[in-house]
Amino acid sequence: MENNKKKELMRTIKFTLFSLSAGIIQIALFELLDKVFRLPWGVSYTSSLVASVVWNFTFNRKFTFKSAANVPTAMLKALLFYVWFTPLTLLGGDYLVEQMSWNKDLMTFICMCLNFVLEFLWQRFYVFKGSIDTCE
């Protein structure tokens, strides 16, 4: 049992580190699109989210979950998370930014934190559930 706890702790640490790198990509792209190109919050948020998701999925499948699962199937399962997550955060965030005058950067950070926690749970217990550590 102790070995399993250690494995899960390491898995959580790896996911966190890869998510931080994806977060850097998301923030950099968001800032570029928002501050330089002056695109609306929703366009900047969605574009930067997609870039970070692709990065995060690729590294977490291989190094965090060590999954030999069929990549297209795993990607489709991961996409199902974003089918509901993206519209909710996009519409909610856009409302808070445009109608309630929330700070764009704060809204993006809140969405990123929600994404981090919920995506870990989704990938750990749904996407890679039966295929964790099958490609060690």
pLDDT of 35 reads 96
The answer to whether residue 27 is domain-embedded is yes
* Total number of domains in the chain: 1
Please say if the pLDDT value at position 1 is more than 80. no
Q: What is the pLDDT of residues 32-51, one digit of tens each?
A: 999 999 999 999 999 999 99
How far is the C-alpha of 35 from the C-alpha of 56, rounded, in Å? Answer: 24
Among residues 122, 36, 129, the alpha carbon closest in space to that of 86 is found at 122
Residue 32 lies in a domain: yes
Mean pLDDT, rounded, of the chain = 95
DSSP 8-class letter at 49: H
Give a yes or no: residue 101 inside a domain: yes
Residue 136 domain flag:
no
- In 3D space, the residue among 93, 116, 103 whose CA is nearest the CA of residue 23 turns out to be 116
Rounded to whole angstroms, the Cα distance separating 40 from 99 reads: 13
Q: Looking at the domain assignment, is residue 69 inside a domain? A: yes
Residue 117 located in a structural domain: yes
Q: Which residues form the domain of 105?
A: 2-127
Percentage of the chain modeled with pLDDT above 90: 96
Assess if residue 135 is contained within a domain: no
pLDDT mean over 114-121: 97
pLDDT by residue (tens digit) across 85-110? Answer: 999 999 999 999 999 999 999 999 99
Please, what's the b/e burial string for 96-127 (b: 16 or more CB within 10 A of its CB; e: otherwise)?
bbeeeeeebeebbebbbeebbeebbebbbeeb
| 10 inside domain | yes
pLDDT band, residue 81 (cuts 50/70/90): very high
